[in-house]
Each structure stands twice: as C-alpha cells, then as structure tokens.
Amino acid sequence: METLLSVRGLHKAFAAPVLRGIDFTVRRGEIHALMGSNGAGKSTLCNIIAGLLAADAGALTLGGRPHRPRSLREAEALGVRMVMQELNLFPTLSIAENLCFQRLGNGLGLLSRRRLAARAEKALARVGLAGLNPSLPVARLGVGQRQLLEIARALADEPALLILDEPTASLTDPQIHRLFGELRRLREAGAGIIYISHRMDEICQIADRVSVLRDGELVATAAAADLDSDRIVELMAGAPLERPARGASGRAGAPLLRVEGLGRDGAFADVSFTLHAGEVLGIAGLIGAGRTELLRAIFGADPADRGSLRLATDGFATARRFRRPADAMAAGIGLVVEDRRDQGLLLPLGIDRNISLASYRSLQGPLGLVKRSAETALAARYCDALAVRCAGTGQPVRELSGGNQQKVLIARWLARDFPVLLFDEPGRGVDASAKARIHHLIREAARAGRGVVVVSSENDELFAVSDRILALSRGRVAGDFDAATVTEEALLAACFRHHGREEQNRAATL
Amino acid sequence: GDGGEPQPESSGKPRVALIMKSLANEFFINMAAGARAHQAEHADRYELIVNGIKNESDLAQQVALVEQMMASQVDVIVIAPADSQGLLPVARRAVEQGIVVVNIDNRFDEKALATMDLRIPFVGPDNREGAYRVGLALAETLEPGDEVAIIGGIPSAFNARQRAAGFRDAMAEAGIAVVTEQAADWEQAKAATVAAAILNENPALDALLCANDSMALGAVAAVRQAGRRGGVSVVGFDNISAARGLIAGGDMFATAEQYGHQLAVFGIEYALQVLEEGTDPADRKTPVDVITAAQL
Amino acid sequence: MLPRSDIRLPWNSLGLVVVLGLLVLLFSLQSDYFFTGATFRTLANQIPALTVIAVGMTYVLLVAGIDLSVGSVMALCAALMGVLMVDGGWPLPAALVAGLAAGLACGLTNGVISAHWRIPSFVVTLGMLEIARGGAYLVTDSQTRYLGAAVGAIGDPLPGLGLSPALLVALVVVAVAQFLLLRTVFGRYLVAIGTNEEAARLSGINTGRWKALVFAIAGLLAALGGVFQLGYLQSADPNAGIGLELSAIAAVVIGGTSLSGGRGSVVNSFLGVLIIAVMQTGLAQLGVSEPGKRIITGAVIIIAVLLDQYREPLAARLARR
Amino acid sequence: MLPRSDIRLPWNSLGLVVVLGLLVLLFSLQSDYFFTGATFRTLANQIPALTVIAVGMTYVLLVAGIDLSVGSVMALCAALMGVLMVDGGWPLPAALVAGLAAGLACGLTNGVISAHWRIPSFVVTLGMLEIARGGAYLVTDSQTRYLGAAVGAIGDPLPGLGLSPALLVALVVVAVAQFLLLRTVFGRYLVAIGTNEEAARLSGINTGRWKALVFAIAGLLAALGGVFQLGYLQSADPNAGIGLELSAIAAVVIGGTSLSGGRGSVVNSFLGVLIIAVMQTGLAQLGVSEPGKRIITGAVIIIAVLLDQYREPLAARLARR
Ligand SMILES: Nc1ncnc2c1ncn2[C@@H]1O[C@H](COP(=O)(O)OP(=O)(O)OP(=O)(O)O)[C@@H](O)[C@H]1O
Ligand SMILES: Nc1ncnc2c1ncn2[C@@H]1O[C@H](COP(=O)(O)OP(=O)(O)OP(=O)(O)O)[C@@H](O)[C@H]1O
Ligand SMILES: [Mg+2]
Ligand SMILES: [Mg+2]
C-alpha cells in the first residue's frame, strides 16, 4: 500500500521533551491505531500533524510532499481532518452552523439556511443523529451528542487523512458500531486514519496496524493481527499488567441512599433505587438516556422536579431534594462530573489547587489559613496513587494530557471520604493501567463501606467495577441486573427498552 | 519651605501657579490665555504654571493640585476654587507655608474664612448679580404672568446655585413664573434633552434661562426642533464665542460677559503686589455685563 | 420540523417591549403632555446618536470586547468637523468624510492594539477615551464651534415625513446590522468568536482581524453619532459625550446582550435605547428633582434586566405550546 | 516535587516597578521640584482613598465581577457622615460607623441582587451608581458640608511619622487583602470562582454567597475611601468620585488583574494606583496643558499594560534559572 503520511525523526519539547525521535507512517486505506498511556505524547504528535503545534525537529511528508502546516486551516486545506480530544464547538450557534462552520455562506457571505440544514441532516445521519433538529443550539446537547457532532463535522469533509483522538470516550456501543462502519467506508475510499483510543477491544476490531508510544518514543509498530491487547498494554507500560477480576467488591451492607421516584422534566422520570454501603452500582444507558442528568439531580447541580432522596444518616426519615451541590456535599454526597474541562477543572491553576478544591474543610488551619504543606502532600499522594504524569504538583492542569486531567478530577473527590460517591464516566480518556488503578480505588472505597454509583458508556468498565447494574432507557429505569451474571446482550436490550420498535430492530442487527 | 528641605536651584523669579476649575471650558481657557499673554509681556517678573482639573466638580483633584503646587514650592497660588469651602483647609496650609494665595472667579465662603481667621484677597465677578441682570434684561421683553424655566448646572456647584438664584431674583421681581428648574450638569446634549421635555410639558413657555452658554446652545437646539423658534427666548452665561454667533442670529437673547480674559491677570497682579510691596490689597469685584444683540 | 431555536433566540424582544410599554403608560398617566406627537418627535430627534453608538457597542460586546472610548471619539469627530467647517471653511461633505475617517481610525487603533497585542479592550479603549478627549480639546482649542444651518439638514425633520434624515439613517443602520448578525457569515463569525475564541481560531477564523474590524465599525458608528449630534445641536462641543459609554452599554445590556460575548441582538439594543430615552424625557417632563431622577434611572436599569431574566423561560414556555 | 505554581504566580511585580521607576525618573528630569520629600508626602496624602477602593475592585474583578458604583457609594457615605456630623451633631465615631454601614449595605445590595438573580454585576452596579449618587444629592440637599478640624485627624500626618492615619490604614488594608488572597481558603475560593464558577459550584463552594460577600467588601472599602476623602478634604461633597470607577479599574488592570476573573494581585493594584498618582502629580507639576495631560495619561495606561505583557515571559525565564 502507498504511504500517505510519513513522520521522520520528530522531536518536540515543552518544559521537558515530549516526543523523541518519532518515525511513523500511515498508508492510504489503513486504520492505524496509536496507543500509549496517558501523557505518552499521542495528542502532541497528532497536533503537529494537524498544524496545531510546530515540531522542534524532524520531517513530515503527506502524499509525498513535505508537510509543514502552520495552522489547522492549512492542514485542512491539504485534506487533514482531526477530531480533537476535547470538544471545540460553539454552544450559541446551531447544530447546522457548527457542522458547516467552514462553509457557512454562499459567495456573497449570506447564510444559506436551507443548504446548511440539508447538509447538516446528511452529516447527522451518518453518525446516527438523524432525528436531531439542525437548528437547535448546541448548548442544549449532552456531551455524547456533542462528541458525535464533532465526528460528523470531520466525516462530512471526506478527508484524505482523518485523525480521531479518543472519539469514543463518551460513546456507547451502538454509536461506536456505526462509527466503525463509517470509518471502514472511508478506508475503502482510500483515506488514511489515525485512531487513538484506550479501549483495547476497539483496537482489535478496527485497526489494521498499531503503533505504541511510550514516554515520547515509538516503541513498536505492527499489524494488529500480530498483537493482542495484553501485548499492547505491556508495550505501553513496559511491564505486564495484572488483569483485574470482573466485578464484585464484596458484600453489600446496609442501605445508604434511597432514591424515590426522582424525575426532571425532559431528562428522566420516576427513577427509584437503593444504594447500599459497600456496593458499586453501575448505570448503563445510551447517549441521552439521562444518566448524567440523574447524577446531577441527585447531587443538586440541576435540582430535580419530582421525587426525593432519603439518607441513612437520619434513618431515612426526611425526604430531600438538594438544590445546591454544597447541600448534597454536606449530606455526604460527591459527584465527579462528566465534562471535566468546562465543569470540573480550574485549568490555569496547579494540580494541587485542583485536587484540594473540595477538601478545604480539612486543609484549613486557624483563621482560615490554608495548610499548604498538607495541601501539597495531598496532591502528591494522589498524583502517586493515580500515576499522574506531571512536572510537579504545582503544574497548571492546562498543561496536562487529557487522561491525566481526568485523574486530577477523580483525585479531588477521592481525597474526601464521602459516604456516597457518584462518578460520571470516570474512565473518560484514561489509559488501561490507570483505569485499572481507578477501578481499584473505587472498589477500595466501596470496601471501606461507602456507596458508589458509576455511570459509564463502556460496558467493560461497568462490568469491571459494579456489583449491580441499572439500565436507563429514555430516562426510565429499564432493568436492574447482577453484574456478575448479566450478559451484554441483555443489558443492551434493556437500554433500548423504551425506544421505538424500529430502533430496537436496528439494534438487534448490530 | 516648611521644613529643612534642600532648596532646589531656581531662577530667582517668583513662580506663580494658576489653578483653574477646568481647562476644558472656553471661559477658563480664556482666563489662562490672558494670564499667559500677561506673563509673556512680563517674562522678567515671574514664571507661570497653569493647571486645571478634569471635571469641574472634582474637589479632591483640585485639592491635590494645590498640594502639588505646594510641593513644587511656588511662591503664589491664584485659584478659582471648585468649591467655596472645600478648598479652604488646603489654602490655609498654603498660606501657612508662606505662599501668597489669591482667590479669583468663585469666592471663598466669607463666614468660613472668618472662623478660620484667614484673609485671602478676592478678585472676581458676582455670579448672582450677573445672572440677575441677564434675567432683568430678559424680563423687559416679557410680561408679568409669563412662564419661564431654569436649566441649572451641576446641582452642588456654587456658581450654579448663584446663577440660578440670580435668575430667580429677577423673575420674582418682574412677576414672571418659573414653572420648573432642572439640572443639566453644564452639558449641551443633556440640556437639549431637558429643554425639549420642558417645552413639551409647557406649551405656553416663553423663555429658558440657562446657567451657562453650553446649555443655552442645547436649549436653542431643542427650541428649534420643537418648531418654537421666535416663541421661546434663551439666555445663557459666560459669553463664549458660539453664543455670540447665536445672539447675532437671533436664536439667543442674551448672555453675561465676565471678562474672564482679565480675571486671572488681576489675580496675578494682586499677588505680585503682595510679594513686591508687602501690601494687602482689598477685594475687587470685576464687572459683569449683559450681552445682547445690541452690544455685538 | 419547526426551527425551534428561532423562537428561543435570545433576541426575542417581549420583555423589553413590556418594560417600554409600562414606562410610556406610567408617564402618560402622570403627565397630560407625554403621550403626544410632540414628545415622540422629540424622542425621535434625540435618539439617533445613541442608537448608532449602541449598535457598534452591541457588536463589540458580541465579540466579548468593550469600547469605553465611544463618547470621546464622538466628540473628537464632531469637533474635527466643526473646526474644519467653521475655521477651515470646508464644505459639509468633505468635513463629513474627514470626521468619519477620524472615527474609523480611532476604532481601528483600538481594535488593532487590543487584537494584536492581546490587551484587554477595556484598557485600550480606556486609553483611547483619554486620548480622543485630549484630541477634541486640541483641535477645538477647547471652544465650542457654532455651525448653524449649515448642518441643520441632518437633524431637521424632513418635510411631510416628520422624521429627520439622522433618524432614518440610524434605523437603516439598526436593520442592516441586525441582518448582518443573523443572516451572514460575518455575523456568525462574531457570535463564534464571542462564544469560544479559541475554537474560532482553530476553525481557521482570523479572530484578530474580525475583532479589529468590529472595533473599527464601532469607531465609525461613533463618528456617525458625532455627525448626528452635530446636526441636532448645530454646534460642536469638545465636552460632548462624557459618560456616553455607560449609557450605550446600559442600553445594550438592557437589550439582553451578554457582556461575556456570544449573545446579543441589535434590535433589542435599540429597544434599550428607547427605554433610556423615554425615561429621560419622561422624568424631565415631570420635572422630577435631580436626586429623584438618578434614583429612578438606576432602579429602572436594574428592573429592566431583572424582568429580562423571566423573558427566556416565558418564551420557552410559549414555544413549547 | 516542586510546587511550581507559586513561582509562576501572576502577582510578580517587576514590570510595574519598572514603569513606576521610569515615570519617577522622567518627571525628576523634567522638574526640579519633583523628586522631593514634599512631593512624596503629597502623594501619600492623596492615594489612600483610591488605594482601598482599588483593593475592593481587585476582589470584585477576581470573581469576574465589576463594580461601577464605587465612586457614588464613596460620595454617598462621605455625604452621610458629613450631614450627620454637621447637621445632626453626631460625634465622629458614630458618624463613621453609620457611613461604613451605608457602604456595606450598598455593596451587599449589589452582591445579593447580582448573585441571586444572576444579573451581570455591570448592570446592577451601574444602577447603583445612579441610585447612590441620587442618594448623595438627597442627603446633602446637593450642598457641600464643611467639617473642618473635626475630621482633620484622619488625613493629617502623624507627628514624627509624616504619614497620615489614612495612609497607614490603607497600607494595612492592602497587606491584609493580599494575605487573605494568597494564604487563606477564602482567597482560594475567590480564585476558583473567578476561574471557573461552574466548577467551583460543583465542588461545593457556595458561589453566590462568596460573591455577595466580595461586593459587600467592595462597598465597605468604598465607604472607607469616603472616610479618607472626608479627612483629606475636611468636607463632604456630594459630587465626589465621579468617574472614580474608571480610575480604580484602570489601576487594578494596570496591576495585571484580569477582567475575566481568576487572576489578580492586591499589591500590584496598589502599584497601579501609584503609577496613576505619580502620573497625575508629575503632569500637574510640569503644568502640562489639559489636552496634553489627557493624551499622555491615555498613552501611559496602554503602555503600562503593554509592558506588562512582557512581564510574564520574563518572570518565567527568571524562575526557570
Ligand atoms: N502546553 C504544554 N505545556 C507543557 N507540557 C505539555 C503541554 N502540552 C502537553 N504537555 C505534556 O506533554 C506530554 C504529552 O501530552 P499528550 O497530550 O500528547 O499526551 P497523550 O498521549 O495524548 O495523553 P492522553 O492519553 O492522556 O491524552 C504530557 O506529559 C503533557 O503534560
Ligand atoms: N442543558 C440541556 N438543555 C436541554 N436538554 C439537555 C441539556 N443537557 C442534556 N439535555 C438532554 O437531556 C437528555 C439526557 O442527557 P444526559 O446528558 O443526561 O444523557 P447521558 O445518558 O448522560 O448521555 P451522554 O452524557 O452520553 O450524552 C438528552 O436528550 C440531552 O439532549
Ligand atoms: Mg491526548
Ligand atoms: Mg452523560
């Protein structure tokens, strides 16, 4: 096969070297998986290819010609398209305008609304969002839908080289399936695709070749058929990974939290369940099923309209509905949000400041003084426990790789001992070994008698941590399963329960 | 100086600081120009530093200016105070430091001066009397029972109050009704807005008395826009050049001339007189004249 | 499919029209002379300058900037025209071109400095506020110039129509600006830059250039405001427009434009201008005392925006029907 | 592991000290009388009010708010104290408490309205600007009150020290405010709220309450500024502090505090105040013409912030050594 992109001797350093002498090729008509643990340099490499960063040394060629784009726009003109790790949409613009942002107008600079809508509908259909009204503002979409929008935007341009930096981090299986169909179609058309993901199963399904980065060095490139996931993880980490056993943190204890008929208009309705001490409750569902909304309502981030919560702390006597996160936290509930960049992290501030943000009650000395050494120690402890790759606990979070940012966010909530912890997509963008560490910490928390709720779009993750799995379908509970025995098929069927017959059929054929 | 400060080298000529209310207003600009011309003629007698504040009512900034001039060790401060009482404490300190202080334009409060046991010679016009005379000139063209409105300056400004009082005195004497009195902060556009509203509300209005010419210009615009040119007279104060044009053209009836050009010069001469002869000059009231088309 | 977002657009104008209606009603009840043609003609003559300046400010706020220099720039341009005509004997059209060019230059300077060196526009335009005011004093030697009938045609009502050319031009500016905002690529770019400048830059928009253009437009419109002011007052006052930036921003923000960018409507800014103008005229007609005027004005500004909070949920509820 | 963020703090003050030094040098070269103890004592007497108001403004900007009402609130509080003492015969301490309470109330009102109804603080404080000014006119009946020696002790230099109690208090306020910002949980919360309000809220910080508190502090400090002003001028002027909000914001922004929140330093705001004060004093001592003053002031504001752009890279380079 013909080489599309070739990278020779690529070097890049920020404060410290990040890429060291990378040699890397992508052929026409191949899907090339780029693997590596968090902070290995994957995004940096792709950013250089896509014109967002300049290399310090090294040569790139694209289609045989030297490739040195000075901006994203320039790279795009050469047929390179990238879906970035973080969302880059305009919430105040409509879906159609976001999708066609580069070609909004006719020759006169006037918006051609009809043409935009038509094009948008076509692009949306390719990622399975056919029902969405293209004139809705993006502000009204959930994270999963926004992620699909980004992908639709890239696909619509029929790129020669497509870079996907963790496109599936908040997608569920049906969407991933459809995406893979589109990628294969693009491959048949002769495009080259760089695919970054931390989900091993995906790599085995879709990749033709795999390259592994470790500490900024390319340690291996091989045909996907010649590698299995254990081998890849070993290459990434430089050491074999102990596979965590599936499920089961131990025995569920007394009830901690009762959710009774909770509902929020337009998001979810009539949700009831009981969370026990020592239990990890997984929540499955399709994009837009209302899982995020449910957690936010429990936490008081967006107050619920109906129903209530009862807590063990007062013997389930009072029915409450929190109106502010501060109140929920006072009652012993914590939430790790899904959208880490917009709702979780303080990007310009240091790792220590981000981790300690919810813990100042215990880091506070006399007169409200911050115990700075305790703060630093706390940050250092969790950077260690979660293997955050950083230059120091004071490094601004903005400079961390996506997965490491996620770890910092999780550390903030593990640092306090809430009886009830809610996690929304905790493994988003985190590499396999770090994910295993996070899962371990979650189970540890449960073992210590806390109750944990984990929302995840990744079934493997749910199976790995949960004792019990609740399926949400269109905002309603559609099943309550024992994680040790439930099959993926049964879970998927439950997730589709409240969808139309047609969609259910389509799902069955996946 | 007040302390044992080393005295910086100086030319030996007395240094005169002229402190104005504003240097963004034609009246004070004229005053400053007069002073500069005088200094140019008598360059061997003294040096001149002219300063004004940004906002005519910014007392704090003017106090700061006086202090800065004290720090510069000037020999004379000639000041048009932004407030008739607020400047007194700093003026007293200047006097105590041995600086000759002369008051021009806006008179220090005499009672306060007396309680402080301070004597500062004053050179300047009587705003109230000037406004009174402009009002009387207008009243001659009106009849008892006619209606007028007053547009004042910044409500707390001393001369704004004086001028409004002068207008009221004249109207009361002539038996003319003042239907409303509103502030337009010395500003042209604001005066236009206020005048337009007053005209709407008072269909029988015969005249607008404005506490300065800028506001009179605004009032003229409002009268013209309301289509009541000829029916409503406008008078102002200060005799700025634009007002003269309007008076000549019949859009304005009258304004007051305070001979600002000479005001600062008088003040400086008073101060030099104190310095050179050690005498203590008496207060001097400078003339205010009514300007109508007949005077142009 | 119903384009629902259009109904929920932030530029729906319900709340503002209600506030405006209430103000007019209140003043009409208080004064016999308020609800008359004369009052409305008066209003129509007064608003053109503030209107076009508020349009420019809307654009500037949309891209998450701010322009504090509009009052000074307006004064400088009017002053320049006045001096050129009175002292220089220039004909009106030539002076007009010079004045507009000066405004454009000031605005462009604001835009280029703040976009190129990435300095907050608040600082740059605060500097320009001082500089342009100094310039206005300099060119006029701090003396008001009386122009008389030479410029009267701009502000005097057209026979038969009862409206001045200034007002007509201002209305056209409002309409064109709203059209540009909603229906052209340019408008979408501004919204995009105001929403997420980084994403806009990554999408290949030369954000610096568009922002500079927006400030240039604001400068040009400030100059146009100066022209209208000149026509209205028939004189050029170097002290004109002090504090005007706050009035303009108040009008725009009452109109629901966000100070943090990305959300705004020119038509609603115009309604904000009307609210302010009606309030000023009404209070003056009632002869309310100065302290009373201040307190009522302040309260109305807050209340208008407070009511506006209920506008969106209300509109959403209507739309859901 | 090195806590790097502390070295890279935005509140390094290098660039500002350089600007300040340059200004002093320039004026000293131009005027024989500038570099004297008298000038510096004059400066020391003038800055206390602006200093404490700039401290409050720094906090407000830190949480991504803005307070336009400081000038009016200062005037209202000073006016209230003046009236209570002159007309009401209150003793100084009682009047002082009343004045400070009034400032706190105004600030709290700003804060509660903007935090509770989520109205941009720009609008709320613009309303308060008008309302408090109206209030100042109302309580004084638009007349300046002369207080004389009764309040002189506040502003007169302490014997032996040469500095006034006002200045000493202002310096203490600066030090305490900087300490709170850097070393306490309160400071951490403000920075977090200004950086990402939603993230702060979702981390259990009661953002509304802290923001209200910050505005209350700003109001209280504006009142304290009023006290200093009263001591300095020995009179209460209802027109005091017009346009002061812009000076205060200019000082704070020159000090490198970001208008979009999350980044700021009280000490640097104080340096900003010094830059502005030195410039005003210097220009006045040279007797520069009014247009000249305006133009130079505007240019220095822009240049100071421009130089500040080069401060961070420079400091980073120094820190890396
Ligand atoms: N602007 C920056 N300044 C300093 N260091 C940076 C910057 N951007 C990235 N880095 C560092 O470069 C390294 C590689 O980051 P990169 O984002 O390429 O990792 P990645 O392989 O994409 O990781 P992930 O799987 O977590 O997304 C990280 O250690 C990160 O901290
Ligand atoms: N701010 C919002 N305004 C209106 N609707 C919203 C908003 N956020 C989410 N929704 C809608 O609410 C529904 C539930 O979304 P939610 O984010 O809870 O789903 P989810 O199951 O967590 O999926 P994901 O997060 O993967 O998108 C979706 O239909 C979504 O479009
Ligand atoms: Mg990455
Ligand atoms: Mg979700």
Q: What local confidence, expressed as pLDDT, does residue A251 receive?
A: 64
pLDDT tens readout for residues C138-194: 999 888 888 887 887 887 778 777 788 999 999 999 999 999 999 899 999 999 999
Using the predicted structure, report yes or no on whether residue B221 has a pLDDT greater than 60. Answer: yes
Please indicate whether, in this complex, the C-beta atoms of D294 and C142 are within 8 angstroms of each other. no
Task: Write down all domains in chain A, each with its CATH number in brackets.
Answer: 3-237 (3.40.50.300), 276-508 (3.40.50.300)
Under the banding of pLDDT at 50, 70 and 90, the label for residue C2 is very low
The closest CB to that of D285, out of B22, B72, B155, belongs to B72
Pocket test for ligand 2, best of A87, A124, A147, A293 (most atoms within 8 A of CB): A293
Q: Which residue has better confidence, C236 or C215?
A: C215
- d(Cα A275, Cα A273) in Å, to the nearest integer? 7
pLDDT tens readout for residues D117-166: 888 899 899 999 999 999 999 999 888 888 877 787 887 778 777 788 99
Using the predicted structure, report yes or no on whether residue B250 has a pLDDT greater than 50. Answer: yes
Residue B188 touches chain C, beta carbons under 8 Å: yes
Q: Taking chain D, what is the end-to-end CA distance rounded to the nearest angstrom?
A: 16
Under the banding of pLDDT at 50, 70 and 90, the label for residue B5 is very low
Task: Evaluate whether chains B and A are touching (3 or more beta carbon pairs less than 8 Å apart).
Answer: no
Residue A393 touches chain D, beta carbons under 8 Å: yes
Nearest chain D residue (CA) to C298: D127
Report strand pairing: B147-152 vs B205-210: parallel
- d(Cα B235, Cα A486) in Å, to the nearest integer? 94
Strands of chain D, DSSP E: 145-146, 235-236
B21 contact residues in C (CB cutoff 8 A): none
Q: Structure tokens of B116?
A: 């402080």
Q: For residue A293, report the distance from its CA to the centre of ligand 2, in Å.
A: 6
Q: Which residues pair with A471 in a beta bridge?
A: A284, A479
Nearest to D251 by CA among D291, D308, D166: D308
Q: Which region, left, alpha or beta, applies to residue C261 given φ > 0 means left and ψ of -120 to 50 means alpha?
A: left
Query: Largest alpha-carbon pair distance within chain B?
Result: 69
Nearest to B121 by CA among B288, B2, B286: B286
Determine whether A20 is exposed, middle or buried from the number of CB atoms within 10 Å of its CB (0-12, 13-18, 19+): middle
Nearest chain C residue (CA) to D66: C259
Q: Considering the entire predicted model, what is its pTM? A: 0.89
Report strand pairing: B147-152 vs B233-235: unpaired
Q: Which atom of ligand 1 is nearest to the CA of A37?
A: 25
Q: Which region, left, alpha or beta, applies to residue A11 given φ > 0 means left and ψ of -120 to 50 means alpha?
A: beta
Q: Give the minimum alpha-carbon distance from A260 to chain D in angstroms, rounded to a whole number.
A: 23
Query: What CATH number should be reported for the domain whose range is D40-312?
Result: 1.10.3470
Which residues of chain A from 402 to 431 reach within 8 Å of chain D, CB to CB? 412
Determine whether B182 is exposed, middle or buried from the number of CB atoms within 10 Å of its CB (0-12, 13-18, 19+): buried
Q: Which atom of ligand 2 is nearest to the CA of A285?
A: 21
Residue type, A204: C
Q: What's the angle, vertex CA A85, arms to CA A387 and CA A396, rounded to 5?
A: 50
In sequence order, what DSSP letters do the residues of D62-97 get, joined into one string? HTT---TTHHHHHHHHHHHHHHHHHTT---HHHHHH
- d(Cα D217, Cα D173) in Å, to the nearest integer? 11
Collect all residues with Cβ–Cβ distance below 8 Å to A488 and sequence separation of at least 6. Answer: A173, A459
Pocket test for ligand 1, best of A11, A18, A24, A211 (most atoms within 8 A of CB): A18
In 3-state terms, what secondary structure has residue A389?
A: coil
Collect all residues with Cβ–Cβ distance below 8 Å to A451 and sequence separation of at least 6. Answer: A256, A257, A275, A276, A277, A278, A279, A281, A419, A420, A421
Provide the b/e sequence for A86-107 (b: ≥16 CB within 10 Å): bbbbbbbbbbbbbbbbeebbee
Q: What is the mean pLDDT of residues B189-199?
A: 90
- d(Cα B197, Cα D138) in Å, to the nearest integer? 23
Q: Which atom of ligand 1 is nearest to the CA of A40?
A: 21
- Answer whether B61's CB lies under 8 Å from D297's CB: no
Ligand 2: which residue has its CA nearest to atom 31?
A141
Residue D290 touches chain C, beta carbons under 8 Å: yes
Q: What is the number of H-type helices and E-type strands within chain C?
A: 15, 2
Q: Which residue has better confidence, C92 or C161?
A: C92
CA D303 to each of CA C113, D194, D306, D307: distance values in angstroms, whole numbers, following the listed order: 11, 26, 5, 6
- Answer whether B189's CB lies under 8 Å from C230's CB: no
Residue D153 is classified by DSSP as H
Q: Give the count of beta carbons closer than 10 Å to the beta carbon of residue A369.
A: 16
Enumerate long-range contacts of D302-307, CB under 8 Å, 24 or more apart: D302/C113, D302/C119, D302/C123, D302/C124, D302/C127, D303/D19, D304/D16, D304/D19, D304/D254, D304/D272, D304/D275, D305/C119, D305/C120, D305/C123, D305/D253, D305/D254, D306/C117, D306/C119, D307/D15, D307/D18, D307/D19
User: For A38, how many CA atoms within 13 A lie in the half-sphere containing its CB?
Assistant: 27
Residue tagged 């505007």 (tokens): D298
- Answer whether A71's CB lies under 8 Å from C204's CB: yes
- Answer whether D193's CB lies under 8 Å from D261's CB: yes
Q: What local confidence, expressed as pLDDT, does residue D311 receive?
A: 62
Provide the b/e sequence for A179-210 (b: ≥16 CB within 10 Å): bbebbeebbeeebbbbbbbbbbebbbebbbbb
- Answer whether A137's CB lies under 8 Å from A24's CB: no
pLDDT tens readout for residues D60-78: 999 999 999 999 999 999 9
- d(Cα A102, Cα D245) in Å, to the nearest integer? 42
Q: What local confidence, expressed as pLDDT, does residue C10 receive?
A: 42
Q: What local confidence, expressed as pLDDT, does residue C129 receive?
A: 95
Q: What local confidence, expressed as pLDDT, does residue D6 receive?
A: 38
Under the banding of pLDDT at 50, 70 and 90, the label for residue D2 is very low
- Answer whether A375's CB lies under 8 Å from D183's CB: no
Please indicate whether, in this complex, the C-beta atoms of C259 and D301 are within 8 angstroms of each other. no
Q: What local confidence, expressed as pLDDT, does residue A11 receive?
A: 94
CA B228 to each of CA A68, B222, B233, C63, C197: distance values in angstroms, whole numbers, following the listed order: 73, 9, 9, 45, 53
Q: What local confidence, expressed as pLDDT, does residue D203 receive?
A: 94
Using the predicted structure, report yes or no on whether residue C4 has a pLDDT greater than 50. Answer: no
Residues of chain A where predicted confidence (pLDDT) is lower than 50: 510
Determine whether C280 is exposed, middle or buried from the number of CB atoms within 10 Å of its CB (0-12, 13-18, 19+): buried
Question: Which one of B13, B48, B72 would you mutate to disrupt binding with D, by most D Cβ within 10 Å of its Cβ?
Answer: B72
Report strand pairing: A161-165 vs A57-62: unpaired
pLDDT > 90 in chain C, percent: 56
Please indicate whether, in this complex, the C-beta atoms of C127 and D68 are within 8 angstroms of each other. no
Collect all residues with Cβ–Cβ distance below 8 Å to C71 and sequence separation of at least 6. Answer: C129, C222, C240, C241, C242, C243, C244, C245
Q: What local confidence, expressed as pLDDT, does residue D7 receive?
A: 35
Ligand 1: which residue has its CA nearest to atom 13?
A39
Nearest chain A residue (CA) to D204: A326
- d(Cα D72, Cα D52) in Å, to the nearest integer? 15
Residue tagged 């960018």 (tokens): C261
- d(Cα B102, Cα B46) in Å, to the nearest integer? 15
Q: What local confidence, expressed as pLDDT, does residue D1 receive?
A: 36
